[in-house]
Homo-oligomer: A and B are copies of this chain.
Amino acid sequence: MSILTVGSVAYDDIVTPYDTRLRALGGSATYFALAAQHFTQISLVAVVGEDFNLADEDLLRHKGIDLKGLEKVAGKCFYWKGEYLANWNDRVTHDTQLNVFEHFQPKVPDNYRDAKYVFLGNIHPSLQAEVLRQMNDQPKMVALDTMNLWIKETRQDLIDVLGGVNVLLVNDSEAMMLSGQNHLIDAARTISQMGPQTLCIKQGEHGALLVQGDRIFIAPAYPLCKVIDPTGAGDCFAGGFMGYLAQTGDHSFENMKRAIIYGSVLGSFTVEAFSVDRCAGIDMAAISKRYHEFVDLCHFHE
């Protein structure tokens, strides 16, 4: 089944210890859509400015992503300039310009108001809530990604939207910040009372953790990739996770484990090149191959 997603479409200036890329296509919705389109049909709700490149629009369209919900308005695209330090774990934001996102009001295309899968990418929680309000019914699955900024600055808006969310994707420190707990299992319990029954904790180079009530699954990270640019890894993780769940329509915990591995696979590809180059460039054969490498990495006989 298809997925409706809202998030940012942006241009990033990215500085790493080894290289620099200017005006790289980025944004949470862009990365998510390009990862999830390997599994199913995606409809993207976002806004871009007059500086949005035709080549970038063609890339999204060529991948079969439905752009009816992508508004074009006067002004410039969302812009972010970030720098990764030598250990890859520390990231410094040098500049953020909301530009066309400042007055953005998402509009869900009519033919997507019945979508069964909704992914609320990392943007202001009131925009995420607006998308949910426009849906005709409660979707089968709503997943939400957020970050420390929104947890801190727009906490009540975030808590309001979480009431309609099934799966929350965050990292360790964000889960603790949101829940006020200092242990991940306690954090999952507190967060489930806000709405999301399933907590998916992205741990970057250390893999991911899935928590649902008393059930826990730990997925390893892929240790073989050479990191070129970590930007978008979390969004592509979400794309692989949600894409696989929407493709299979199976929300069992056992299938969510496989979805987490697909998420890790997409995240691991993404960091191997700047921008969306790698997550858009791979095909399903490469994804399957790496999925089975993951299985080998963590499989053992009792």
Residues of A within 8 A of B (CB): 183-185, 203, 206-207, 209, 216-221, 223-224, 226, 254, 257-258, 261, 292, 295, 297-298, 300-302
Q: List 5 A-B contacts (CB under 8 A).
A: A206-B206, A207-B218, A216-B224, A218-B221, A219-B298
Minimum C-beta distance from A232 to chain B (A): 21
Contacts of A301 in B (CB 8 A): 254, 258
Contacts of A217 in B (CB 8 A): 297-298, 300
Known contacts A185-B224, A216-B223, A218-B297; 17 additional CB pairs below 8 A are A183-B226, A184-B223, A185-B223, A206-B206, A207-B220, A216-B224, A217-B297, A217-B298, A217-B300, A218-B220, A218-B298, A220-B220, A254-B300, A257-B300, A258-B301, A295-B302, A298-B298
CA distance A226 to B186 in the complex (A): 11
CA distance A257 to B206 in the complex (A): 18
CA distance A218 to B219 in the complex (A): 9
CA distance A295 to B217 in the complex (A): 10
Which B-chain residue is minimally distant from A220 (CB atoms)?
B218
Minimum C-beta distance from A248 to chain B (A): 13
Which B-chain residue is minimally distant from A254 (CB atoms)?
B301
Which B-chain residue is minimally distant from A201 (CB atoms)?
B223
CA distance A292 to B221 in the complex (A): 22
- Residues A209 and B185 in contact, CB atoms below 8 Å apart: no
- Copies of this chain, complex-wide, total 2
Contacts of A206 in B (CB 8 A): 203, 206-207
Q: Which of B184, B220, B261, B300 interacts with A258 by CB under 8 Å?
A: B300
A220-B220, A226-B183 known; A300-B261 Cβ under 8 A:
yes
Minimum C-beta distance from A297 to chain B (A): 5
CA distance A292 to B302 in the complex (A): 8
CA distance A207 to B302 in the complex (A): 18
Contacts of A258 in B (CB 8 A): 300-302
CA distance A219 to B300 in the complex (A): 10
Which B-chain residue is minimally distant from A302 (CB atoms)?
B295
CA distance A147 to B282 in the complex (A): 40
Contacts of A224 in B (CB 8 A): 185, 216
A207, A218, A254: residue with the most chain B Cβ atoms closer than 10 Å: A218
Contacts of A207 in B (CB 8 A): 206, 218, 220
Which B-chain residue is minimally distant from A260 (CB atoms)?
B300
- Residues B297 and A216 in contact, CB atoms below 8 Å apart: yes
Q: Which 5 A-B pairs have the closest CB atoms?
A: A218-B220, A257-B300, A206-B206, A218-B297, A218-B298
Minimum C-beta distance from A205 to chain B (A): 8
Contacts of A219 in B (CB 8 A): 298
Contacts of A292 in B (CB 8 A): 302
